[in-house]
Amino acid sequence: MPQFPELFILRHGQTEWNVLGKYQGQMDSPLTKLGLVQARSQGKILQAHVASRKLQAYASPLLRAARTAELALLPLGQHARLDSRLKEVSFGTREGRTRAEIAKIDESSRLSKFERYFSDPKGESFSRY
């Protein structure tokens, strides 16, 4: 059986827009105090699992992801390489709006949550992939 490398996937800490229920997409909002605590906690978890091993770490350049990676890797004395291919999908004109705001202006808000991510004409779509 082939040996696969360990893979650790971290989610960014809570952001101000998470609290407000806003779609972020490729727009950004800062981590909250709780988000900073979450990022540091991920660092403690990583440190417990990888000790002093050198990691190949990558993160989205979006502030919320890059800051989370920075704080999570700090106890290991390591840094993530920022890679724009890891950015969240673009939600087009939905970015910065809540579900309720979208429902008021957009018929496609009746779509499933997953379909809604890809239905804005100015955002990313399934046909792109």
Count of CA atoms in the C-beta half-sphere (13 A) of 110? 1
Is residue 49 flagged as an active site residue? Answer: no
Which listed residue (12, 49, 79, 101) is catalytic? 12
CA dist., res. 43 & res. 74, Å (int): 7
Q: Which one of 88, 95, 101, 115 is the catalytic residue?
A: 88
* 77: region left, alpha or beta (phi > 0 left; psi from -120 to 50 alpha): left
101 is catalytic: no
CB-CB neighbours of 124 under 10 Å: 17
Q: How far is CA 36 from CA 4, 15, 75, in A?
A: 31, 9, 14
Contact present, 70 and 37 (Cβ < 8 Å): no
The set of catalytic residues is 12, 88
